[in-house]
Structure 1
Amino acid sequence: MKHYITFPRVEGTASRQAHADLPPGTFERELGKEGFFGPATHMYHRHPPTGWTAWDGPLKPRAFDLAALPGEHPSPWDAGPVLHNAAVSIRLWKAPRTMDHLARNGDGDELLFIHAGRGDLFCDYGHLAFRPGDYIVLPRSTMWRIDCGEPVTALLVEATNGTYRLPDKGMLGPHAIFDPAMLEVPALDDAFRAQQDEREWRVRIKRRGAVSTVTYPFNPLDAVGWKGDLAPVKVNVADIRPLMSHRYHLPPSAHTTFVADRFVVCTFAPRPFESDPDALKVPFFHNNDDYDEVLFYHAGDFFSRDNIHPGMMTFHPCGFTHGPHPKALNNAFTPKKPATDEYAVMIDARDALEVGAAARSVEWEGYVDSWKTPAPPKAAE
């Protein structure tokens, strides 16, 4: 456990309650350690903390239109990394048709988030039907393939050399956010038995980033039964019941869906806005201290961002302050509608992420400028 020098103190004009009752004409900024779990201070500024007029250098907010990525990927291993570090690798996979081989990840657990398309997943453990909004966790070295009912686009989040777990929900109890009973596991059903055959099958195994191919004279997905407490699981974003507070804007960590080694996966789902007139209704300005933050926009109206559409990804690396876009500040306390209307996947990584070639090819270079505050007009001489 880390120990910090902590001593609560109030200096100058400040609110005693974070994210509410801001002094008139001020903008709140949170500086914290360990994401939103460590000690923190709230600053109250005269100007928006993102009100820059120019930005030079590589550290900047970035956005990628992954929906515009060209090409198709018959295998998940054909999809190049979008963002990655030693603990996590994020890829966007566009599967045009049913896979003619099996995949197996020897590098870590795989999380599939189905952004578009429907079909059936077959794996060692049986059969799972899937639809948009499904999270599917595949334990490391599971053999699997998908049968596409229609072309599939999926966000793949690999827990490199790690394992996915459910978050500790503390005093909320284990049934909050979503009940573990909502998790579905594959079934050894008629569809699974029907796909078993005696023809030749290839298994493409990824280990340390390299792919090896093993060929069998039969379909190795030939299980007749299994028992144990390790299996793939599936849950849909529609089954997530987000935490809410009508008097306090909760931090993103309240929406954690899965945890892994040195990163977390959170889900933003529709929820009512805070009803207290003095509570912030938009994400508060905060420093990206200790974590790189990634958001994949799945569906809906992304109220805190301008010019963002489904299939885009934003990347806010550790080291600067960010928060709502300038236009969203107009609705900081008086939203235009009673509830949010968005689904998004957030990945917070403890270690610096590298930007892959795939992401750079579809980068929106003007994203950093979309935060700008216009310079005031010069006084007449």
Structure 2
Amino acid sequence: MESFKASGVYTKQAHVDIPEGLYEEEHGRNGFFGRVSQLYHTQPPVNWTDISGDLKPKNLPSLFSHPDLKDDFQTILANTDCELSLGTLTKSLDFFLRNADFDELYFVHEGSGTFETIYGHIPFVKGDYIVIPRGTTYIIKITEEAKFFQVESRSEFEEPSRGLLGPNALYDQTAKFTPEAALGSDQDWSEYKVRVKRLGEITTITYPFNPLTAKGWKGSVYPWKISIYDICPIMSHRYHVPPSGHTTFVAKNFVVCSFVERPLEDKKHKVLKVPFYHSNIDFDEVLFYHQGDFFSRDNIDAGALTFHPQGVHHGPHPKAFKAGEDKLYTDEYAVMVDTRYPLKPTKWFEENENKDYWKSWM
């Protein structure tokens, strides 16, 4: 059972009416799902003059035009539970895919096309999340150059419990798209190759027919999609809802959250409008910026990504408090991945990151 205590200067309600000249930090456990305290500092905990070591906040600028991403994916961060990648497809694949290592989640940053799967076809457009269960055979058809943020997971992607919010919260279940059974559209190739990923290696299986041969299916394992634009955010005009309230997918040892357009908290109630300072003490945090005005961040463009390791504070950039003072709503869309165990940047990440990002709070 929790045993709340308090000492010194503090607020009646977290994130509300923070005393002039003080800065609130949220010291929470288990991401934003566990026990928590707020501290009220005389200095912002991000007002450092130097950081030496591996825990510097990191940033990848928008790199979808990078030659290494043309018709390919690059893994940027990974641990034993998940791998995060970026990729651009300018043309349809001429081979099929089957992942025997991971369940897959594709977020469409830009573009359009169709995932043709063994369960049927899933058309996609900008803003779609496409969930592909492990072992699903599929091919990606492109109608407009597509840019993806991909999350591969050792465990299944599940929807969060809606609890006392009821079954219609977050998004209506009818907003989910599931495919109707259909054969693969290409029936005149001389051969069809399926690239199967297992233990990080590729085995290629060749067929004389299109492997998307299912004329029907039933069950509870199937690919599906939901648009980030169909997500209805949890909000309160009198309380700053923590990121856990914006969870879209739950997997083993990590979550995926969606930040979407919403009214901001009411100024007359003196509610904090920008994210509170925190240090992710049990989780690493990755944010992929999709679109909008990211007013809590300086010099972050759509398509960029930030990585904040557990143990080092982060929060609004210095200009954010003033910028958000009179804002009535946020039009930003972003995807967050919070992982229980540390993520390791790949060599490609380290070669392309903005190494001065940690200085942006100074």
Does TM, scored on the shorter chain, surpass 0.5? yes
Q: Does 1:227 align with 2:209?
A: no
| Structure 1 residue 223: Cα displacement | 1.5
| Structure 1 residue 98: Cα displacement | 0.6
The amino acid that maps onto 1:8 is F
Query: Per-residue CA shift, 1:25-81, capped at 9, x if unaligned?
Result: 11101111111121111111111111112221221111012425323454xxx5231
| Structure 1 residue 7: Cα displacement | 2.4
> Does the CA-based 8 Å contact 2:283-2:342 persist in structure 1?
yes
- What is the DSSP-based 3-state SS (H/G/I as helix, E as strand, rest coil) of the residue aligned with 1:326? coil
Q: Does 1:296 align with 2:300?
A: no
- What is the DSSP-based 3-state SS (H/G/I as helix, E as strand, rest coil) of the residue aligned with 2:332? strand
> Does the CA-based 8 Å contact 2:62-2:302 persist in structure 1?
no
Instruction: Report the counterpart of residue 260 of structure 1 in structure 2.
Output: 251
Q: Does 1:269 align with 2:260?
A: yes
Spell out the pairing of 1:191-340 with structure 2 (5 A cutoff): 192=183, 194-197=185-188, 199-277=190-268, 278-331=270-323, 334-335=325-326, 337-340=327-330
Instruction: Report the counterpart of residue 379 of structure 1 in structure 2.
Output: none
Instruction: Report the counterpart of residue 112 of structure 2 in structure 1.
Output: 118
Q: Distance in 2 between matches of 1:71 and 1:359?
A: 12
- What is the DSSP-based 3-state SS (H/G/I as helix, E as strand, rest coil) of the residue aligned with 1:111? strand
Query: Per-residue CA shift, 1:128-149, capped at 9, x if unaligned?
Result: 1110100000000101111110
Change (3 A) 1:211 1:188: same
Q: Distance in 1 between matches of 2:214 and 2:70?
A: 28
> Does the CA-based 8 Å contact 2:82-2:152 persist in structure 1?
yes
- What is the DSSP-based 3-state SS (H/G/I as helix, E as strand, rest coil) of the residue aligned with 2:144? coil
Instruction: Report the counterpart of residue 20 of structure 1 in structure 2.
Output: 16
Q: Distance in 1 between matches of 2:52 and 2:66?
A: 27
In structure 1, the gaps of 5 or more residues are 373-381
> Does the CA-based 8 Å contact 1:182-1:235 persist in structure 2?
yes
Instruction: Report the counterpart of residue 177 of structure 2 in structure 1.
Output: 184
TM-score by length of structure 1 reads 0.91
Query: Per-residue CA shift, 1:107-148, capped at 9, x if unaligned?
Result: 121001011111111010011111010000000010111111
The amino acid that maps onto 2:358 is V
- What is the DSSP-based 3-state SS (H/G/I as helix, E as strand, rest coil) of the residue aligned with 1:81? strand
The amino acid that maps onto 2:118 is D
In structure 2, the gaps of 5 or more residues are none
- What is the DSSP-based 3-state SS (H/G/I as helix, E as strand, rest coil) of the residue aligned with 1:145? strand
- What is the DSSP-based 3-state SS (H/G/I as helix, E as strand, rest coil) of the residue aligned with 2:219? coil
- What is the DSSP-based 3-state SS (H/G/I as helix, E as strand, rest coil) of the residue aligned with 2:87? strand
> Does the CA-based 8 Å contact 2:21-2:42 persist in structure 1?
yes
Count of residue pairs brought into register by the alignment: 360
Identity of aligned residues (%): 46
Among 308, 324, 334, which residue is 1:344 paired with? Answer: 334
Q: Distance in 1 between matches of 2:151 and 2:113?
A: 19
Change (3 A) 1:7 1:299: same
The amino acid that maps onto 2:349 is A
The amino acid that maps onto 2:331 is D
Moved more, 246-255 or 51-60: 51-60
Among 153, 157, 161, which residue is 1:159 paired with? Answer: 153
| Structure 1 residue 202: Cα displacement | 0.2
| Structure 1 residue 193: Cα displacement | 5.6
Q: Distance in 1 between matches of 2:330 and 2:306?
A: 19
> Does the CA-based 8 Å contact 2:181-2:217 persist in structure 1?
no
> Does the CA-based 8 Å contact 1:93-1:155 persist in structure 2?
yes
Instruction: Report the counterpart of residue 41 of structure 1 in structure 2.
Output: 37
Change (3 A) 1:73 1:207: farther
Instruction: Report the counterpart of residue 368 of structure 1 in structure 2.
Output: 358
Q: Distance in 1 between matches of 2:275 and 2:224?
A: 31
Q: Distance in 2 between matches of 1:304 and 1:340?
A: 10
Q: Distance in 2 between matches of 1:361 and 1:96?
A: 24
Q: Distance in 2 between matches of 1:73 and 1:124?
A: 26
- What is the DSSP-based 3-state SS (H/G/I as helix, E as strand, rest coil) of the residue aligned with 1:57? coil
Q: Distance in 2 between matches of 1:42 and 1:143?
A: 48
Q: Distance in 2 between matches of 1:13 and 1:354?
A: 38
TM-score by length of structure 2 reads 0.96
Instruction: Report the counterpart of residue 130 of structure 1 in structure 2.
Output: 124
Instruction: Report the counterpart of residue 9 of structure 1 in structure 2.
Output: 5
Q: Distance in 1 between matches of 2:168 and 2:332?
A: 23
